[in-house]
Structure 1
Amino acid sequence: MQKNRFCTSSSKRALRTDRSESLMPAGPALSSWKQLTSSAGKKMSDTGQQLLSEGRRLYGIALWRALTGDSGDSANKDIRRAIVALSSAMNWLEGWDSDGFDLAHQFLDKSGELARREFSAGCCFDFRDDAYHQACPVALAHSRVGMSAGFVIKQSHCSVCGKDPEECEHISGRVYDGERCCRVITEAELLEVSLVERPNQPDARIHSYTLTRSELYASLGEGFAWGMTISCDRCLNPCRGLSYPMRNT
């Protein structure tokens, strides 16, 4: 019995391997595929580095203002914008630039701490629809999970010539006369949305989640009253590292 199960499992693995290999491009197509992959990686990295640079710049401005006693609305906006930029930088750099990803993570933690320490009015859980929500980009960025949509394309056209992509000669991802070709989808039917570790669209992430009554009462004790303002102190504590929920499923 055990031998039969082992053989069956091995056969399935071989079948999956054969299918994967049969789907890989070969010859000139493989070379083109590698070029497109490299181009996509460079685009991801470049975008991520731009976001990282902007986030660090805004963090520096907010820090300088805090050190000079300016904790006004402009400084608060700067640190909030820094947090959004650095969170997005992590999304774009993940898998393409590990050093940049780690640096964005470090500055995101620094920005979160500065925001909570100097501009605490903006560090509260959202209360809407009779429920509390965690919507802080710092907290959410530490859980590396995103969303990937599955859908049927009903109508689309080439961004270069406007024709049906199946009929035109342009290849998506390549640059023609300074314009990067892409498939413009004008009509589609959504089939499902899956949770993934690294979504194809880097910023397709969870933007908030609901906090349960039980965990709030357990954390805040008898003095807690439903509907009261609750400050989030997460960023005042040392970073516990990143979590990868999809690796445990």
Structure 2
Amino acid sequence: MALRARRRVGLAWVVCLIVLLSAAWSAPALASSSSALQLVDIARAHEQAGEQDVALRRYSEALAIDPTCGAAYLGMGALRAKRGDLREAERVYSVALEHLPALREAQIARAHVRRALGAHAEAVSDLLSGAPDDVTSLRTLAGWHGEDGHTPAQLAVWRRVLAAAEAAGDLARAHEARTMVRALQLLVGTADPVAAPPLDAHVAGRDPSDGLRRLVAYTAKRGAPVK
């Protein structure tokens, strides 16, 4: 009995020691994370005050303390992009993804920076990586195709938006996508391999393209009204 009691006491001390050591090991990491986030808040305040150079230094200090501080990467990258330092912004987001591969915000931000740099294929890859059916990303891609004048590709992407919205039961987004698909079908005409344009599109010799282009541009920017 006495031996069993001593063993229980010994086991209790071992468990206690493990808990104490775990707390000691995790405390510096928690402190570093907290300090880094405080510096991020300070950097944002300087940024709002127009003190961009100071803000960049605070973001750098936050990352020196905690190289996994996602908020610091995102803040620094956005500020670099705002200043027109696109290559540096791309580098910041790339480093962020090395440390935090699941930081989707960094990947989306890098996609926009890469597009601005003219690296369109890499931008699309970033935009859709890991989330090929994300409706928000697909809408962005459709907008890019529209800006580039690639109407058939824009139509194909809006069809994907429609399918994803219907699958998710998002009636408002599905209505918007259906409106865009119908308008783009008229613009693409016989170049659309999926569906021919409605027969009434050319009634009385009317060319609907001008009005349709305005409709497409307006709907893409504002979103179609919900019925």
Structure possessing the higher relative contact order (Cα contacts under 8 Å, 6 or more residues apart) = 1
TM-score by length of 2: 0.28
TM-score by length of 1: 0.26
The higher radius of gyration belongs to 2
